Amino acid sequence: MIRNSDLVERLYRGLRLVRRAEERVAEIYPSDKIKSPVHLSIGQEAASVAVCDVLGPDDIVGGTYRGHALYLAKGGTLRGMLAEMYGKATGAAGGKGGSMHLVSAEHNVLGATAVVGTNIPIAVGAALSAKMRRSGQVVACFFGDGASEEGVFAESLNFAALKNLPILFVCENNFYAIHEPLDKRWATRRLCERVATYGIPTHLIDNDDVLAMHDASKAAVERIRAGGGPEFIEYHAYRLREHVGPNEDFSAGYRTDTEAEPWRALDQVTVLAAMLDDKRRAEIDADVEAEIAEAEKFAEESQPPALEELHRHVYAD
Amino acid sequence: MSTQTEQGGRILTYVDAIREALTQEMEADESVFVFGLDVDDHKGIQGSTKGLVEKFGPERVFTTPLSEDAMTGAAIGAAMTGMRPVHVHIRMDFLMLAMNQLVNMAAKTHYMYAGAYKVPMVVRSMIGKSWGQGAQHSQGLHSMFAHVPGLKVVAPANAYDVKGCLISAIRDNNPVIFMEHRLLYFTDAYVPEQSYALPFGKARTHGPGDGKGGDVTLVGVSNMVMECLRARELLADAGVAAEVIDPVTLVPLDFESIAASAKRTGKVVIVDNAWLNCGFSAEIAARIAERDDLRHVRIRRMGYAPTTCPTTPWLEKEFYPNPVTIAGEAYALARPDGAKWTPDPKHAELAYQAKFRGPF
């Protein structure tokens, strides 16, 4: 089933890059070359890849500590990401942010935060600014199910709706906050209903489907850009690795391998790979591997920051 | 006085100086906007934002939901993307609701993103005092903010400084915690009409007036500068010359001006508009203690009683340092072997009404 081969190729390439880059990160991790905790998005790459395909270069995104997919999908370089994880001067934040704070002003990646929910009002502020500057930019704000429990989420929804701001809220619901399942944290699962009470249109994609996400976010971003105000998408996907670190953790007891099975069957990298002919897929795969190898070499060979960098950037000039 | 008048100076209250600074910066820079609960109502934050919405419109001057956490984040996000927000809180106590955004984001954004984004925002807030402000309308929480690298903390104590510092704060490319005091709002001073920016990190020294170096140094923060100036009047009765240092900006701190005065007098009373424990007064005391050339300096600290602020005036009076208690402490430090002295009660009463107009 091929809908649009250009689109499928782009999405596949995006998904494949994030997946393979993170798998490589997981392989390198035990060597201690990576000087940063890593929160891998393996299994839940699709929301970032789909939404960023819809956004233009001037549009803005803000994300979380599980943010490799968003950073790469919005155009952040893999070189910058790996060098940042290695703690090198050439990293996205010169080694000062690490895996949890990937940033690229050039690509309008507002950064990523490690305190859950904290990025949401920042993105709302960027949307307020876009509206005040009449820039035509749309902001996409990514967060997880845990963030929806923070008070600031409700505050931010209300304000974004009140001011009719150009922002797309994307909740990546992976059903766990660290190791705590949704049913221990949510009184009901009616998240979209909760959001809708602010007058914000909501959309639920509950089967990890990158093409459905692309359709939904494309339509939402068009409405938002036309002045329609904020929209909300809840996207269900499954985190296949541990909360933090390179490994699987199905033996830990808080969730089961059986629970993961249907999500593995939905794996979007595999699904999209099957839509491409073998030759084209092999070309893309080879490109991705070359990019990863080159970025890894770059990170390895880059220098650590000069010691005086410790004191730089505390205040802006 | 004549010099100030020639420069366009006229007597202006602290609150009017704030409003004038906001007006001039909003006229000069379209990216400046003012928001916060009640900034556009008929009272206009005790008058400090009155008339701004009529002049600049509701897009640049607007009230907010009671959502300090999200509104602070919104200010940060707007500041990162080309705007210069001034976020207003009618009491400093409400900043506790914004601590995550201020400490984890505003202070750290420029550093953790290695300069990729700047956060040029001003957080205005007012410390309350008297008439039953009580536990949650009276706190001076500047020490908490001064602790965190990345924030600037400003506490102007007169109308001249508040205008020049607010203009500097708006133009600064960093988050600035701008601390006002309710009891300073109706103090006045000679304030030039034209726009001017005062450099941060420059203390104001009110010389001892004895033609020498002074007998004792009083360091005051925010409204306590005013109380120290009043105490200085009382101390003069006992022949003690006090030099009053107003740091104006706590971060960055002009410690050299404090050190220079301390070196001359050898005696320092630090009077904070806050508690003492782990506070700004402890910071100044520690910096003096760490300096070899100030080894001779003796230090006393004064501030809020180590209690929650009570509302009843009988207890509230005991909670704060006042000109009499400051003068008493300074006298005891300056004249350790002198006759026991307490300020003349009549003069003390008058001292409370003393006005200090500068020129600054």
Q: Is B3 a residue whose pLDDT tops 60?
A: no
Work out the mean pLDDT of chain A and round it to a whole number: 96
- Best mutation target, B26, B66, B81, to test chain A (most A CBs within 10 A): B81
Give how far B277 is from chain A: nearest CA, Å: 26
Q: What is the DSSP string of B51-99?
A: THHHHH-TTTEE---S-HHHHHHHHHHHHHTT-EEEEEESSGGGGGGGH
The total of other beta-carbon atoms located within 10 Å of residue B225's CB is 29
Contact pairs from chain A to chain B, CB under 8 Å? 145
Nearest-neighbour CA in chain A from B5: distance (Å): 34
Report the C-alpha gap between B21 and B299 in whole angstroms. 37
Q: A309 to chain B nearest CA, in Å?
A: 9
pLDDT at B351 over 80: no
CA distance A305 to chain B (A): 11
* Residue A92: φ, ψ to 5°: -55, -35
* A202 touching chain B per CB within 8 A: no
Write the DSSP symbol of residue B4: H
**How buried is B344 (Cβ within 10 angstroms: 0-12 exposed, 13-18 middle, 19+ buried)?**
middle
First CA to last CA distance, chain B: 10
Residues on chain A touching B79 (C-beta within 8 angstroms)? 125
Torsion of CA B328, B334, B337, B339, to 10 degrees: -40
SS3 content of chain B, % helix, strand, coil (to 5): 40, 20, 40
- Nearest-angstrom CA–CA distance, B171 and B30: 12
pLDDT band of residue B349 (cuts 50, 70, 90) is confident
Sign of the torsion angle spanned by Cα atoms B184, B188, B189, B190: positive
Question: Is the confidence at residue A225, as pLDDT, over 90?
Answer: yes
Mean of pLDDT values over B99-121: 98
> Residue holding tokens 């942010």?
A97
Residue predicted with more confidence, B183 or B4: B183
pLDDT tens for each residue of B157-169? 999 999 999 999 9
The DSSP 8-state label assigned to residue B100 in this structure reads I
Q: What is the mean pLDDT of residues A274-281?
A: 94
CA B37 → CA B40, B63, B71, B302, distances in Å?
8, 5, 10, 33
For the sheet with B122-127, list strands across it: B61-62, B32-35, B84-89, B122-127, B176-181, B152-154, B249-251
A230 vs A309: CA distance, rounded Å: 40
- Taking an 8 Å cut-off on Cβ atoms, the answer to whether B73 and A127 are in contact is no
Q: Is the pTM of this model over 0.90?
A: yes
- Closest residue in chain A to residue B118, using alpha carbons only: A316
Residue A107's Cβ-side half-sphere holds a number of Cα atoms within 13 Å equal to: 21
Cβ proximity of A97 and A103 under 8 Å: yes
pLDDT at B341: 92
How far CA B75 is from CA of A25, A165, A224, A250, in Å, comes to 35, 14, 21, 42
Cβ–Cβ below 8 Å for B113 and A317: no
- All residues of chain A having their beta carbon less than 8 Å from the beta carbon of residue B29 are none
Q: How far is CA A219 from CA A137, A223, B307, in A?
A: 15, 6, 58
Name the residue in chain A with its Cα closest to that of B71. A121
Cα–Cα dist B307/B195, whole Å: 41
Exposure string over B114-128, b if 16+ CB within 10 A, otherwise e: bbbbbbbbbbbbbbb
Is the pLDDT reported for residue B117 higher than 90?
Answer: yes
The residue of chain A with its CA nearest to that of B109 is A111
User: What is the set of active-site residues of B?
Assistant: 68, 137
Residue from B100, B112, B174, B249 whose CB has the most chain A CBs within 10 Å, to mutate = B112
The whole-number pLDDT of residue B4 equals 47
Q: Is A147 on the interface with B (CB under 8 A)?
A: no
- Hey, are the CB atoms on A121 and B101 less than 8 Å from each other? yes
The percent of residues above 90 in pLDDT, for chain B, comes to 89
Q: From chain B, pick out residues whose CB is under 8 angstroms from the CB of A95.
A: 114
Name the interface residues of B facing A (CB cutoff 8 Å): 33, 59-60, 64-65, 67, 69-83, 85, 100-101, 104-105, 109-120, 149-150, 152, 173-174
From chain B, the residues in CB contact with A113 under 8 A are 104-105
- Mean pLDDT computed over A221-244: 97
Res. A3 pLDDT band, cuts 50 70 90: low
Mean pLDDT of A108-127: 97
The SS3 assignment for B250 reads: strand
Q: What is the pLDDT of residue B350?
A: 81
Chain A residues within 8 A of B174 when measuring between CB atoms:
315-316
Residue A114: closest C-alpha in chain B: B104
Q: A102 and A81 in contact (C-beta within 8 Å)? A: yes
What's the average model confidence in pLDDT over A164-174? 98
A94 inside 8 A of chain B by CB: yes
Residues in chain A within 8 Å Cβ distance of B75: 125
Looking at CA atoms only, how far is residue A104 from chain B in angstroms? 7
Q: Which residue in the block uniquely carries the two structure tokens 């006992």?
A: B238
Average pLDDT value for residue range B181-205: 96
pLDDT band at residue A240 under the 50/70/90 scheme = very high
Rounded to whole angstroms, the Cα distance separating B16 from A232 reads 44
Nearest to A159 among B74, B79, B118 (CB): B74
Mean pLDDT over residues B139-157, rounded?
A: 98
Residue B255 and residue A184: Cα distance in Å, rounded?
A: 52
Instruction: Check if A54 contacts B (Cβ < 8 Å).
Output: no
CA dist., res. B71 & res. B76, Å (int): 9
pLDDT of residue A2: 58
pLDDT at A45: 97
Is B71 close to A159, i.e. CB distance below 8 A? Answer: yes
Whether A132 sits inside 8 A of B120 (CB atoms) is no
Chain A residues within an 8 Å CB radius of B173: 316-317
Which residues from chain B sit within 8 angstroms of residue A133, using beta carbons? 81-83
Q: Whole-number mean pLDDT of chain B?
A: 94
B152–A111 C-beta distance less than 8 A: no
Q: With contacts defined as CB-CB under 8 Å, which chain A residues touch B33?
A: 132
Q: Do residue B77 and residue A151 have CB atoms under 8 angstroms apart? A: no
B70 and A155 within 8 Å at the Cβ level: the answer is yes
pLDDT over threshold 80, residue B360:
no
Inter-chain residue contact B152 with A104, CB threshold 8 Å: no
Of B69, B113, B120, which has the smallest distance from its Cβ to A121's Cβ?
B69
Taking residues A211-231, report their average pLDDT: 98
Structure tokens that stand for A237 in this block: 């996907």
The pLDDT value recorded for residue B209 is 83
ipTM value, please give it.
0.96
Interface test with A, best of B64, B111, B200 (most A CBs within 10 A): B111
Radius of gyration of chain A (CA): 19
